[in-house]
Structure 1
Amino acid sequence: MSALDKIKKMLKGHEDKASKGIDKAGGMVDKRTQGKHKGHVDTAQDKLKQQLGTDRGQDGPPRS
């Protein structure tokens, strides 16, 4: 079992909290870099949410 699979298993049922944590971490990076890398941070956040399955919108299914 890969590390990513283990993380996904741990996050099962807590996707909303994981998504908030990813957003908060991205906000901290943006603040520390004064927004210089905002595009890269946003892309990384989106990809991480997608990998972890936390990219669910308000209505349910993952965004594509």
Structure 2
Amino acid sequence: MGFLDSLKAKLDPARDKVGDLAQQHGSKIDQGLDKAARTVDQRTKGKYSDRIVSGTQKAKDAIDRLGQKKDGGSPPAA
């Protein structure tokens, strides 16, 4: 077994736990991401608004994919 295989085997239980949490608390996580994005945007005076919006959306998409894995289906292609 190679290094990456052993690392993947060790991380699988953590990924399952994160998937469970994402499924249970997805809306709270989304609200937290929105709040953090607003705070950062205000503190940077809108200088990086487009990047903040893009990063926030990518984070929300990742949370959605993690939550969907636990539904039994395969995750959508990224």
TM-score, length basis structure 2: 0.59
The structure 1 segments of at least 4 consecutive aligned residues displaced by more than 4 Å after TM superposition are none
> Whose Rg is larger?
2
Cα RMSD of the aligned pairs, angstroms, is: 2.0
1:8 aligns with 2:11: no
- The CA distance in 1 between the partners of 2:31 and 2:53, in whole Å, is 13
Count residues with an aligned counterpart.
53
1:42 aligns with 2:48: no
Quote how far apart the aligned CAs of 1:9 are.
2.5
Given residue 53 of structure 2, which amino acid in structure 1 is its aligned partner?
Answer: D
Larger proportion of helix = 2
Secondary structure at the aligned position of 1:14 is classed as helix
- The CA distance in 2 between the partners of 1:32 and 1:24, in whole Å, is 12
Quote how far apart the aligned CAs of 1:2 are.
7.6
Instruction: Give structure 2 stretches of 5+ with no counterpart.
Output: 1-11, 66-78
Higher RCO (C-alpha under 8 Å, 6+ residues apart): 2
Instruction: Give structure 1 stretches of 5+ with no counterpart.
Output: 55-64
